[in-house]
Structures are given as structure tokens and as C-alpha cells.
A and B are shown apart, each in its own frame.
Chain A
């Protein structure tokens, strides 16, 4: 059934829920027969956005491929908290090789499946933002350029969390990390020019690129399922708040993710062959301060109006660039 945006929130929490939907429209997570590919008992922190994102994404991909899935994993939180030997939380064939090579290992797995005539088996590579946008970027771009038949999922928590919250090229300006301390005239991370890997992925003209967020499960699942229906290189980047690294309450993970999207800092969009085909409209726009004030990594921003203005300007630019606001008469 075609994906359609759910037009209502559950009261109070603003969570996009299932309960008022027909059975067929409910999420994979809401079904009793979901694969539980990332099983309970792993060692992620309370409120871990990455654990949620991985669970949502892989279960959806398992549904889409009739459980014919192999995943490769970059070094990082997801790898460490799921596979402290001899335990493994994965119920799928899974391999971890190195920090920077998840895309290439996936290319190898896909090549092996092709040479063995097992076209039904599909391959996913996954990693955090550090393993994707920094150290794994060469392998990722190579995979895109060759259009290898792999879906790469980046769980973006905007820093190297596993090693103690150090800056990555996905760390936003002003954010506090262990290597971008909130001291000096420009506290936190430098603003720089940023590194928007979804846009870079699009520049490779690959069949499918999408951004998603753990706060919108329907949208996330729909994007993964769509990605698995296609062949060639595909890239999905999922926004996954990290309570520990961001200095946030574990119960606020979904709220922070929703705020990031609703303030315009994290646009959700899809692109096919280099062209944007869909951007999720902001439903209830909030000021960036609503998003920033519930994260200690941005606490110093409130004493620094310049930084606050810069962050708001980034959100405003996103809203314009991706046309995130509904135009009058187009329904709200």
C-alpha cells in the first residue's frame, strides 16, 4: 500500500501514532510478526536514538526483503552495544570489519551474492555519522560511484559518541563536544560550511537518497521499504538523538528529534537520481530555541546571541531551500 502521511498526532505527546489507523496502514513495528532483527538485551543507553533507528530500519528492510538480508556494520556505538562477544543482539547475518570500510565490505557481500546467483539476498551497510561522513567517506563515495547494489544507512547522532563525544564533520556549529569545548569567543564547534552527505550522495545521481528521523516511524519505514524496492546504491540518513552526548533527558529523544525537524534544522526529504522528489512539510513550526534549550550541548548558545542567530539562519535557509513550509491554500 502506498505511503501516505498520517494526518493526526496522538494528543499530548504529538507522536504520530497507529491506534486510529487501519491494520494495513500500521507500522512494521506495530505488528506481532516483526523480525526483531535487533533484539532486546543489547547494551545501548536509555533513550538511545540509534538503537531505535536501527531497529526500525532493519525490521522494515527485513519485511521488504522477505528476511533475505545481510548487514555490514562500521565500528561505533551500534557495533559495540549490539555485539559484546559472545553475545549478539542481531538476528540477521551481520559482519563488522573496520571503522571506515562498511560500504566496501557491503560491496563485497553484494558481489558474492551476485556471483552465486542469489539475487534475492539484499545488502545493507550501516554506520554512525563518524564512520560515514568522515573516515568511511571514501569507501562510501566509491560505492555510490559504482552504483553497487547496497543500501547504506547512516545513523546520525552528530558526533563520535562511542569514544566519548568528539566532533565529527556532522557536528553542528556551536555544539559542545569533547573536542569542541564551550570556551572562548566562539564556544563549541566551529560553524564552517558543514558537510551535507545526503546532498553529496545526490550529486552521485544514485537511485535513492532520503533523510528520516526516529520521531516519525511511518515516514522512516516507508523510506526504507522504498529504498529496498530499488536496486543500485541508496542512502538513507536517520536523525538519532544521543541523550548522553547531547546532554538531554532519555525520555526526550523523540521530542528532540521532532523539534529538529519542526524547527527546520533537519529537513526530511527524498531524492531520486539526484533530484529532490519530496520534502516533508513542517506541521507546527517551532523556533530553534525550542530544540536547543533541551540539550546541554547548546547551553552556552543562550549567552551568545550571535550563535543563536546563526543557528536560526541555518534553519531558515533550510526551510527556504527545501520548501518546508506549506503554501497558503495547499492545506495545513
Chain B
């Protein structure tokens, strides 16, 4: 059914269609409307049987889901940003225990300095926590990915993180085709756990494993993710057969057939990029894009053919491995090993900075002329950076970088008006 609906509420509808049995959430750090909406559904009786539990921290939220999933209940929670880091220990634990929890991450920045806006540093910090990570391009895809996520999680007994850009998707009103219950039930069977806490058949879960078996356990975690590389596209195909539209899978391509410059990215920025690419193609520039939809497992094999004809690759991402550069870029370079061609790592949109068409157009023009440094920060204000460095050079007690820069920007702006 077509609806003009906020991203968070559309996801809440999708999660409700999946008949979750336990939903637990710490509602803040930061908040989206997803769990609020689900809370209303449970309390009004529209989503039953389901337990909705308000907890005191993100760490407790995922811990409750660990308990409920281990006891055989389909379990869901949502978080983002600082909250995801606060639950980090439980994030690793849920995957280590093989519990098929589904969690939405409404991607946002990580402080300090505190910042509530969108980038993907939060989920990227958990990229090696053993969860499957899916990234949504649009609210429609966010809805569709959640329905697929329960299916994937329960089939291979691993937790799935559905990542959708904070604000840009979670708070945006868009037209979304919300599936109906009949379709969803057809696609998603009842949860049949691989392991369950039950007095009728007592089992111990979470025992200590020493050097004699730990490597094998970790190998199997990797093996399961490798299996997911074939399972995720299968599920996407099956989804298409039931719901009549494409969503998910490992990678999606846009105008790459004759492209000399291929941009690789993930998340909602692909929407803006497609418009820029259309414009630039009409001017004769051979440029295309690849969107990574499953970041874990990383689709090395699926990515390689999409970059086969490229003369250069631009990896664009909203996160930064401080001291290295792009996180996605490092992964993409693995897919390009043995290929001699420029790979540009571009960091943009940090802490909610808008990624404009004009900035992207300038970026892509420079890249297609091979006039770009290996690591580039989109719209970086070098004057501000240089002044901050000068302050640190000249004054020992130069103070907080963030506050100094704010004052600096404020002073410059004030000087202009006078």
C-alpha cells in the first residue's frame, strides 16, 4: 500500500509486519520514532503477542534481546550513534552466541565533539562485530531490508544490523510502498531457533571456550558470513518474487557499463549521486556508480565485475578511519588488488554536513581528470584547519579544538557583516 510516511514510521510498520515477539529499547542516544511507533502498536493491541520493554540503557536493550532470542522469541531493537557504542560489548556477544536479532541503526556521528547528525561512523565501528550489515539507499529499501533481515538472520542464526542514514532517511517523509501482512507472512515463516532455553530440554548456552576450540568457533562465524554472500542475493530474488520489486542483495549498479569513472558508496547518498551522474553523462562524461548494500559480509566477488571496465574508482563514504582514511575504501581496494589504477578515497558528509550536487559535480570532474589526492575530504575548509594548526603551534594552552573552531567561524562571520 502506497503511503506518504516518515522513514522511522515506515520501518516500524515493516517491523510490526514481521511479528516480533519481544521489542526492547532504550529510547534515546539518539532517538528515532521507530520504537515509539512500535510501542503504540503493542500497547493498543495491534501488535500482539508482543512484549515491549523500556530499558535503562542501550547495553540493557541488546541484553534483553539476547535473553529473549535465546529463549526462542523473535527479537528486535533499534539504536544509533553513542547508543551503539554503549552496547558494543553486547553487539559482539549477540553474534558470538549466534542469536538472530534484528537491529536498526539510524546512522549518526560519534563524539566528541558531540554531534547528533548523520554519518556512518557508528555502524562502521561495529563492522567487525560479527553482524550482517545491510545499508539502505532509501526508505523504501529500509522497509524492504527489515523484512529480509529477519529472514536472513533466522535462516543462518546471525544477528542483522539494518543501517539507514539518520535524519536523511529516518526523519524524511517519502512515498513508501508498505507491504501487507499476507505477503510478509508468505515470505517470513515463524521463527524456528537453532538453540533455545527450555526446561524440557536443558542446555547450557554461552560456555567458556579456550584455545583448543576458539579458532574453530571464529572460523565458523566467518564461514557463516561467507555463506550469507550467496544467501543474501537469493533472499533478494525471493523477495522480488513475492513483493514485486527489487531490494537488498549485495551490490547495486548505476550506469556502469561504459563508465571510466566508477563511484563506490553506501547508503542514501547514492540518490544525490545518481542525479549528478545523469547530468554529467548528458554532458558526455562516462561515469557510473556502485552502491554497496551488504557491507558485512563484504561482497568482494560481486564487486569485482562491476569495476572491471573502470579506469579509476572513487570511493565515497561518510566515515573516517582516523589515521588511515576511508574504511569502505580499504575494503574496495581489496577487491581491486592486482589492478593498477587510481583509487580515490573521499570522505564527506561527516556529522551531517550536506553533500550537495555542486560539490559532487566538482569532485567527480576532478576525479575524472585524475586531479585528486589519494585521500580527499569533501568541502574541507582548509583555512579553518590551518588557523587551528597555527594556534596550536603558537600557544601551548591553545584550548579545545572544537570550541576554538566554532569561535573562529563565528568571528569570521561577524567580521564579514561589519
Contacts and interface: CB of A to CB of B under 8 A. Distances in A.
Interface of A: 67-70, 72-73, 79-80, 83-88, 90-98, 100-101, 104-117, 121, 138-139, 141-142, 145-146
A86 B53 contact: no
Contact of A79 (B22, B198, B208): B208
B86 to A, nearest CB: 10
A6 B400 CA distance: 67
Nearest to A111: B51
B68 to A, nearest CB: 4
A84 B66 CA distance: 21
Residue of A85, A92, A139 most packed against chain B (CB within 10 A): A85
B244 interface: no
Contacts, number: 162
Nearest to B65: A108
A86 B63 contact: no
A104 B197 contact: no
A93 B198 contact: yes
Nearest to B99: A97
B342 interface: no
A108 B197 contact: no
Residue of B53, B71, B206, B209 most packed against chain A (CB within 10 A): B71
A105 B94 CA distance: 11
Contacts of A105: 63-64, 66-67, 70
14 contacts: A70-B197, A70-B199, A72-B67, A85-B208, A95-B204, A95-B205, A96-B207, A98-B93, A104-B63, A106-B67, A108-B73, A111-B51, A115-B49, A142-B60
Given A83-B204, A90-B202, A115-B50, A109 B197 contact: yes
Interface in B153-196: none
B107 to A, nearest CB: 25
B141 to A, nearest CB: 29
B55 interface: yes
A117 B57 CA distance: 27
B56 A107 contact: no
Contacts of B55: 104, 107, 142, 146
Contact of B67 (A88, A104, A121): A104
A95 B197 contact: yes
A146 B75 CA distance: 19
B227 interface: no
B119 interface: no
A231 to B, nearest CB: 15
B71 A98 contact: no
A94 to B, nearest CB: 5
B22 A138 contact: no
B71 A92 contact: no
Contacts of A95: 67, 70, 197, 204-206
Contact of B199 (A83, A92, A111): A92
Contact of A101 (B21, B90, B208): B90
A98 B91 CA distance: 11
B60 A109 contact: no
B67 A139 contact: no
B213 interface: yes
B83 to A, nearest CB: 14
A141 B59 CA distance: 13
B69 interface: yes
Contacts of A107: 53, 55, 60, 63-64, 67
Contacts of A113: 71
Given A93-B198, A112-B22, A142 B57 contact: yes
B210 interface: yes
Residue of B57, B67, B201, B209 most packed against chain A (CB within 10 A): B67
A83 B206 CA distance: 8
Given A88-B207, A101-B90, A139-B59, A108 B22 contact: yes
B325 interface: no
Given A70-B197, A85-B208, A111 B53 contact: yes
Nearest to A66: B199
A104 B207 contact: no
Nearest to A101: B63
